[in-house]
Structure 1
């Protein structure tokens, strides 16, 4: 893989000249290089900038490969807004003003500079004299785009981080697996940028120059989207542009158990029975690596490993009888040194090198440590075969797959579609995830299903079940998994499932206090899994700890209607389940300092303890009042408090004007009554907002100082102090107590 580097032979594009405009596009020439710049009003608050040679910007007939890559990156290709273009000639700077609604993009003629305005306030501008550059980085054509930073720019997104959520001072490269990159970056000042490309993207976020964000994109065409608005609106527009998450369904929202490496099915079933006996909720078992099924050594049959699973039908039946769904690992490969490897190498169904020889990667966990060749998923026949073989497994009762396919593919490897280098490293995990999603959900209406993976790539937010890291078994590991979830949420990924501890690390640091704190945070998250290593199971601890486990798992199942409602909302708005303070409160700089607090959906503020002890400091953001779920006390926003939190409590605060709808206590999702999903409603002050809840049919209307709510029939209602509830048929009236 090429080293990180800046462009060689850079040409600064120093001037801009107007060519033509219409409602959906303005066209400019870039200096004397024969290049053009096209700007579209892609959506309200979204400008699309495309730079390159005219023939590349407006090809007569895009290639099939180009169309396929565009579909991977964009869910909506055509602009849906309109542009008003006017010239600027104020005596000091000539240029053009491109307006749509309350946002403006100003372009200066010479020297070239861009400035973005929202309601007449400048929220972003490029660096004067080095706004846009074109050159070569040794791999082909590439572009540089430079944005000037100031002290108020806190920059978020760009992928996974286990440290600071503000990405300033970092450098991130899209196709370097360890960088864990994603393409969206945004500022709390109200701007964002997304480079739409499957080629290499490099973010230098104030690392080389503290006052500069430099975006470097390989390719003949620069395709850049500028977003203007609050961070939540940027995520909304970004996910509308690139695609939004599918639905996971009900059973994946229950508690998971990860089988320990080397553990037998009978041992795992015994643990499931202990969970049931102790009334600890459980819905899903995820089988351990290696993959229990795959292509056979001498034929293309896709079968279970008979040594590990002698009777697959009996296996699935045993777990289903315990009301447990099974998830199992897979990998898109064929073991090296087998007849099938040689046959598919000859057929061209595996990724190959420059000499036509199939790539053989070193063994991984999924392959049982044996070297393997990668299926060429750019080949439609191979893609279809791999997807259809998995569909049969799911039709037979397997709940879903887990598959990590972000391999470090060398530069000399080429796919049938012509992809190689950074493009292939980016495209491959996208194809693997999509093929499995097609298998598990593509034939359903609506598409509902999960594919568990830790892979990150452009448009990863289209898939709901992102796997969290196995970080360790100490307090730092707890903070690590929380920060990764918040950073992924900032990057447009709606969902990360946490692991409660790690079977791959020493368990010496996992104290009862840490175990319960980790569990409580995980309960108030998208979801989580227990590890079936004996030292990390609830019955490894004392009776008091086991009772606390039961307490928190009851909370988890009661929260499912709310958490699944947040995910359903992500399909409409792109907002993540766990929302960072910067995303939720971009205008409160104090809140952003408290970066391990988060909003769970729109209604709940969670401040998980990340250190031993009962006292927890909490900052309640300004602009709202907050209601303590544990005491019912009301606090004004913009204040800091020290909360006493025993192990049976978690600092959680309801946002005034919102409601929390809770389901009944259950041991697994099969106990949910589809006709009565909800059991109880908690109100935080006078209701102003319709609640977030799965299959939401509850609506709030305000009139003359009271709130009128439809959809609460048969539910217990707990109003805040000072409010009273009156029922009239299907309508509930909430008013001030007299």
Structure 2
């Protein structure tokens, strides 16, 4: 894949002439004759379009599949903001400024360049470097597609966040990210704590040069391999940027309650009966869990007819296998895959029907074997074909009706450039949209007849709009202290890119397990407890009782607290559907103005109320930074600490430094071994107060309300719950109302 940026490819745009304007949209023509449209798209959002229907506001006359793909990327395409246009002079040259409340986008000419203002402060400025194309375009020429390039100046120490999953660092500066490279794990949103964000609305390749030494360490350069530019510029706090980004591109579907419980993954080489036995041992040893995820290969395939047939070697009697899990109150997640092996009698027929992706010869593309096909070569179902989509969705509905509760499916495959789908998608576009189509199709099957849409698809794939479909599966990392740190970075980076929930695995069965010590195991488990989802491996050396009775006892205690946390964690996921904020929130996302906090990149907020400091190195001593602006209450001791301070704590493996944020409360559920034991009419059991409550708590179904009056807080919805006030507060009940006031 070409990564070099050649500015000579692009015609630099120099001037604009205003054509029409209204409070929402402002239409211009460039010196090259291209239509340029700028929208005051939403509060703190400007949309810049050059070329094509997006720029003209007219129905598309070009490739219908492209219009459909772009429409699919936007959950809300219409503008809802308003702005005013001023003609201004910039550096002695004519220009324009579009004002939207306290923010503005200035467009200078000769050459054409942008400045994004946040409260009169420039936060994103086009680069003055003459060696770079500030804003340029390249028209399509023969086999070379059209393209655009933009370059923005970076402050010397400015950090860049988002753009997908990384296990190396949260700050993506100095990286090059290619969006259609499966290894890059890319997502499309980039933002800075200075208060700006950039989203390129395309399924074509975008190369993000993030201040790289090879190109320009002082500039963020975007090379967009698309003949039409559709760019969203965000301005505001990072939480506001994520809020607006997810409103525009879509927000999370609702996961099921049972998915919030712990998962157990089948060991490699184990039979379904073997993993059912491990599940029974989990129950007998008091380790709570809710779901079993079966390992690859796929549990069913297309063989002698146009239907799914269970793998008879592993599932001679699927109903009996599923019943064995139901007997221990376990849900079942089974692997599927949109591939048809070349050994299948149906391969040739599906090739003739045009149901498989094809190569330049018109034949079905044959891919090298993957774990989901048990290493056998295969063709991929063409999910851009309406009949194929419907078939694959409906057959999975039938599988779910048979007793499977969720589907696992990874299809982020490096599809060659000469492979084409029925709708014309090929190359970078097809690599980008294929995992998106697969996961959406499976979620549609899982959420069938559920309002609001609710279901689970376990997948490690990342793709644009991935935040619409819960949940993001765990990252494979080694069984080392650094592996634990990598898994936390992966969760935080996808959260900073717009995905709300990310699962953690407790170790990996694909790496040597002799490096997993009892101390590391318990630290890993504790980090999983304070995450959105997590999963045990059924591999004998990675189960809680593999490390002795003391580890088992501590694991039991941690699991009890995990199940008590579920109402809060699910409330945070429900909150993501309203705000776009992830369950695990990095310091840069939660505290953009506290630069000291950013250096502690592995600390995170779990929801809005809990600060979690995972242990990522051996020993009891742990360094903690408490972000400024709030006081923090130690969950282990009940002591209060001022924000903006650094402390050293000693924590054995039975606890972590976790702090409640002042003004918030933590609502806990009862002790349970699986979510089926929850009483849906009484999901809560106890409330912990962190100072005087000011904020409504994040909790499943969110029915508790807090109001302040005359120095006291009044809460409704706490009937029958135990309330643990922090020091210096007293609680009085009067019917359905609870009054919290200063102790006299």
Q: How does the TM-score come out when normalised to structure 2?
A: 0.97
What are the residue-to-residue correspondences of 1:351-370 with 2, within 5 Å?
351-370=357-376
User: Are the equivalent residues in 2 in contact too, given 1:35–1:54 (CA < 8 A)?
Assistant: no
What are the residue-to-residue correspondences of 1:368-387 with 2, within 5 Å?
368-387=374-393
1:14 matched to which residue of 2? 14
What is the CA RMSD across the aligned residues, in angstroms? 1.4
CA shift, 1:651, in A, is 0.5
Whether 1:131 and 2:137 are equivalent positions in the alignment is: no
Question: Partners in 1 of 2:596 and 2:249 — Cα distance?
Answer: 32
CA shift, 1:442, in A, is 3.5
1:695 matched to which residue of 2? 701
1:246 matched to which residue of 2? 253
1:320 matched to which residue of 2? 326
Question: Partners in 1 of 2:67 and 2:104 — Cα distance?
Answer: 31
Question: Partners in 2 of 1:153 and 1:320 — Cα distance?
Answer: 52
Question: Partners in 1 of 2:64 and 2:305 — Cα distance?
Answer: 31
String of CA shifts for 1:490-513, please: whole Å, max 9, x gaps: 111111101101111101110000
Question: Partners in 1 of 2:543 and 2:53 — Cα distance?
Answer: 62
> What SS is found at the alignment partner of 2:68?
helix
Unaligned runs of 5+ in 1: none
String of CA shifts for 1:131-156, please: whole Å, max 9, x gaps: 20112696311000111111242110
What are the residue-to-residue correspondences of 1:185-204 with 2, within 5 Å?
185-204=190-209
CA shift, 1:565, in A, is 0.3
> What SS is found at the alignment partner of 1:159?
coil
User: Are the equivalent residues in 1 in contact too, given 2:5–2:223 (CA < 8 A)?
Assistant: no
What are the residue-to-residue correspondences of 1:36-185 with 2, within 5 Å?
36-52=35-51, 57-61=56-60, 64-89=64-89, 92-128=92-128, 130-135=133-138, 139-185=144-190
CA shift, 1:37, in A, is 1.5
> What SS is found at the alignment partner of 2:324?
helix
String of CA shifts for 1:487-535, please: whole Å, max 9, x gaps: 1011111111011011111011100000000000110001110011100
What are the residue-to-residue correspondences of 1:414-453 with 2, within 5 Å?
414-453=420-459
User: Are the equivalent residues in 2 in contact too, given 1:9–1:136 (CA < 8 A)?
Assistant: no
Q: How does the TM-score come out when normalised to structure 1?
A: 0.98
Unaligned runs of 5+ in 2: none
Question: Partners in 2 of 1:120 and 1:83 — Cα distance?
Answer: 15
CA 1:91/1:194 → structure 2, altered by over 3 Å: closer, same or farther?
closer
> What SS is found at the alignment partner of 2:10?
strand
1:206 matched to which residue of 2? 211
1:675 matched to which residue of 2? 681
CA 1:545/1:91 → structure 2, altered by over 3 Å: closer, same or farther?
closer
CA shift, 1:6, in A, is 3.7
User: Are the equivalent residues in 1 in contact too, given 2:49–2:55 (CA < 8 A)?
Assistant: no
String of CA shifts for 1:465-491, please: whole Å, max 9, x gaps: 101112111101100100000010111
Question: Partners in 2 of 1:90 and 1:502 — Cα distance?
Answer: 57
What are the residue-to-residue correspondences of 1:449-468 with 2, within 5 Å?
449-468=455-474
CA shift, 1:436, in A, is 0.5
What are the residue-to-residue correspondences of 1:234-313 with 2, within 5 Å?
234-296=241-303, 298-313=304-319
CA 1:513/1:84 → structure 2, altered by over 3 Å: closer, same or farther?
same
CA 1:105/1:462 → structure 2, altered by over 3 Å: closer, same or farther?
same
Whether 1:557 and 2:556 are equivalent positions in the alignment is: no
CA 1:386/1:494 → structure 2, altered by over 3 Å: closer, same or farther?
same
CA shift, 1:15, in A, is 2.3
> What SS is found at the alignment partner of 2:319?
helix
CA shift, 1:7, in A, is 5.7
Question: Partners in 2 of 1:177 and 1:8 — Cα distance?
Answer: 28
> What SS is found at the alignment partner of 1:430?
helix
User: Are the equivalent residues in 1 in contact too, given 2:406–2:456 (CA < 8 A)?
Assistant: yes
User: Are the equivalent residues in 2 in contact too, given 1:8–1:135 (CA < 8 A)?
Assistant: no
Question: Comparing 301-310 with 614-623, which one deviates more in the overlay?
Answer: 301-310
CA 1:406/1:5 → structure 2, altered by over 3 Å: closer, same or farther?
farther
Question: Partners in 2 of 1:238 and 1:90 — Cα distance?
Answer: 30
Where has structure 1 moved over 6 Å in runs of 4 or more? none
CA 1:413/1:676 → structure 2, altered by over 3 Å: closer, same or farther?
same
CA shift, 1:5, in A, is 4.8
CA shift, 1:90, in A, is 7.1
> What SS is found at the alignment partner of 1:360?
coil
CA 1:492/1:72 → structure 2, altered by over 3 Å: closer, same or farther?
same
1:543 matched to which residue of 2? 549
CA shift, 1:72, in A, is 2.2
Q: Count matched residues.
A: 736
Question: Partners in 2 of 1:362 and 1:111 — Cα distance?
Answer: 49
User: Are the equivalent residues in 2 in contact too, given 1:35–1:53 (CA < 8 A)?
Assistant: no
CA shift, 1:67, in A, is 3.8
